[in-house]
Structure 1
Amino acid sequence: MNAPDHALKVSDEALVASGRQVLEIEAQALAAVRAALGADFAAACRRMLACTGRVVCTGMGKSGHIATKIAATLASTGTPAFFMHPGEASHGDLGMVTDADVVLALSNSGESEEILAIVPALKRQGNVLITMTGRPGSSLARLADVHLDARVPAEACPLGLAPTSSTTAALALGDALAVALLEARGFTAEDFARSHPAGALGRRLLLHIHDVMHAGDDVPVVRDDASISAALLEMSRKRLGMTAVVGADGVLRGVFTDGDLRRCLDDEDTDLKSTPVSALMGRSPKTIGADALAVEAARLMEEHKISALVVVDADRRVVGALNIHDLLRARVV
């Protein structure tokens, strides 16, 4: 029976059982790494917190992939970091490392030739070397200033060859470092957003009303003695589905919306040319300040079932306006 024929005969139950066994083995691996966590982990965190440069993560093969992810996680959570390929490091990339940097080297065996080849240069430069291996007695572990024990009871691969439990353990240990450093630095959601300006969280925490509102001549505004037809013309020009209504002093008196217009059109006794907009405007409009977060405008619109807001200053003078489409374009909602 060839391999494809054998694969076709494997039952769904066997596939599920295999998957569950892998997860169980990897859960045991994480438990083992957790139990081994101690003073060395704290020492590694202290060295990274004291670092005035970057954390340079390096590793070969699958360990390199894990090191790349650890570097990305550190960088996005307040610890400047990048990945350096150890093979390329011997051919010039070592110049990316300054004497202020801490090096985090990953190798399950602790004997990766490409990493061991660059250790003497790192030592001469005075870099702190933190290693993460599955063999505390390995060459790389012995050369480290701090060694993190990432030993696992077994790989999930039944052949014991493919890195599985060991890479899961290293990845989790990297996450543990990143989160411990994050908490030690007092890193906040706003800090996280600053390094993710294009992401959903960044938009929610960094985008303000003044970034998305219409201002100046684009704001629909009429005086409270203007007629409904004048208000309709202003609404049509500015295309926000409403117009702010202000007094002679420029202070907001109310808002006239598409809904108000429909109601007055249903009333045959309303003369659009002679009836002042103040007679039919909403007198308790929802407003927001220009420095508020854009996400707050979304919350107000949802809470009050409205589609637009007037932006006012501390004296309730109109400085802008926005509607739900502005928030959609900014991808706040």
Structure 2
Amino acid sequence: MLNDKSVLITGGTGSFGKAFVRTVLDRYPDIRRLVIFSRDELKQFEMSQTFSEQEYPALRYFIGDVRDEARLRRALEGIDIVVHAAALKQVPAAEYNPFECIKTNVLGAQNLIEAALDSGVQNLVALSTDKAAAPINLYGATKLCSDKLFVAANNIRGDRELKFSVVRYGNVMGSRGSVIPFFLERRASGTLPITDPTMTRFNISLQEGVDMVLWSIANAWGGEILVPKIPSYRITDVATAIAPDAQQAIIGIRPGEKIHEEMITDSDSFNTVDLGNYYAILPVSGQYSTEDYCSKTGAVPVPKGFAYQSGTNPDFLSVAQLRELIETHVVGKKID
């Protein structure tokens, strides 16, 4: 699929970017070019110690910011496929610095769309978040706006062989800033802070996120918001899995935080279909009909009023399953 193709990933030095690069280099040895586009030269230097251009001649490290449209246009020259992972995503920082978040997550998205339309890009997949569904914080609101921009970009592509799609998934296990590394760091103290004992979250591994993006590159029609079927966990079970003897101190939820996360709201149910391993929220702008999409993909419309929420998800991880996943995907060894 990616052999003999040129691929660029924005935010390429982040947790997802590293996992994506590792997977692509492993599965597609004949990829023509793989460009890591990011604004932090130190992270690029550190990443190049693992993935060097000498060992992997297809690799390129390109310093740039999605806020800079001219730099994006330069970076997209000769690129076939774009994966958009760049974002400001820390909820408290976004609340304190709202327009900085808007500049990157919204204006940066539009810059990328404009640059892609004026280049030879054929396929663009943008990463979203569960916080974009019925958002209550600025980060979620900017990602919802970004999702809308990428979906609507299909309306202005004209006769270009270019499609825009979105992948929306939940919390990535062990990613920077997530609760699992925080609990691992605090476990020696004997006390783990719990925002609310009823809180739940979706869970996905980095590799599952990468695999879903690759599936989207191969199968998306353009205009979909694709959502994986993934398990949920209770925040108290995560604490127990990491430090079963630690005290769980209830501290209350933070501003802009939900008790349960949603990825599909009941309002989305009217244009959502079940693809088997994934759901797809289809565009409402008439790019194609739900009937045509279902007949050609085997998808089935979900019931009216369907919602996909972490608290009502039928699939929950047990404490034992969480402990095994944390040992496998985060720590890399048995937790003492």
TM-score normalised by L of structure 1: 0.30
Task: Please say which structure displays the higher CA radius of gyration.
Answer: 1
Relative to its length, the structure with more strand (as a share) is: 2
TM-score normalised by L of structure 2: 0.29
